[in-house]
Amino acid sequence: MRALAISLVCVVTLLTACSSDDRERKFVARDVGALYNLGKDYLERGRYTDAAVFFDEVERQHPYSLWARRAQLMSAYAYYRANKYDDAVLSAERFLTLHPGNKETDYAYYLIAICHYERIIDVTRDQKMTQRALQALREVERRFPESDYAEDAKLKIDMTRDHLAGKEMEVGRFYQRRGQHLAAIGRFKTVVDRYDTTSHTPEALHRMTESFLSLGIRAEAQKSAAILGYNYPGSKWYRYSYDLIQDKG
């Protein structure tokens, strides 16, 4: 019993020691300016999660102050810098819900888009996050076409579309290697129809030519090769398609 009592005392002491700093940070009432400045100080020192905690506390302790609105956006930024993207998106979305007409809504939308964009993974993986990034970036471009954020969003939209096209090509080549040419053509056609301004379009047209010839559909093969030659006459993919058509007589 004595040993058990000593163990319980040690556990309580440890928990008290570990949580004292959290209680000081999160639950002690502070002046709104002091809370905001603590968050800003932690942000400047690179302690981004701690900064977000204090910015969140500004809103929790002083929800109707002018500081609370600014703190919401600063919290989103701090979470973003801490690579806590889901928390950053939630904070930014909360800011937009509570202050839809604020002059800084453009940055909130942009921050949401960047949080999705920076989580884009390679083309061999699921592209759900890439789709979210593309949708969010387009929202920035649509809502704030004259802003600096729109300019950056346009560049990232192009890169995101190129990434999605790359995924379609990767799947299409997989089907093609397995002799599933109709499925492959479907993927390559998606690139040509939806992502025609990306770097993958010439190869997609060539792969379509290959697959149509493999299926014995010469007219469609000639059509895709002709489109390739018209739009990309100096491309290596057109030379490949031209030689392939010639080899097939």
Query: What contacts 24+ positions apart, CB below 8 Å, involve 125-130?
Result: 127/163, 127/164, 127/167, 130/160, 130/163, 130/164, 130/167
Q: Is residue 21 part of a domain?
A: no
Q: Which residue has the tokens 């639950």?
A: 27
Q: Is residue 140 part of a domain?
A: no
**Proportion of the chain above pLDDT 70, given as a percent:** 88
* Cβ(39)–Cβ(78) below 8 Å: yes
Q: Is residue 236 part of a domain?
A: yes
Alpha helix (H) residue ranges in 118-217 = 128-143, 148-177, 181-194, 201-214
pLDDT in tens, 186-203: 999 999 999 999 999 999
Q: Is residue 221 part of a domain?
A: yes
Q: Is residue 139 part of a domain?
A: no
Q: Give the pTM.
A: 0.79
pLDDT in tens, 54-74: 999 988 888 777 888 899 999
Rounded to whole angstroms, how far apart are CA atoms 9 and 1? 12
Residue 11 has pLDDT above 70, yes or no: no
Q: Is residue 113 part of a domain?
A: no
Residue 178 has pLDDT above 50, yes or no: yes
What's the mean pLDDT when you consider all of the chain? 87
Q: Is residue 242 part of a domain?
A: yes
What is the per-residue pLDDT for 28?
61
Q: Which domain holds residue 231?
A: 200-249
Residue 5 has pLDDT above 80, yes or no: no
Q: How many domains does the chain have?
A: 1
Q: Is residue 219 part of a domain?
A: yes
Rounded to whole angstroms, how far apart are CA atoms 169 and 46? 41
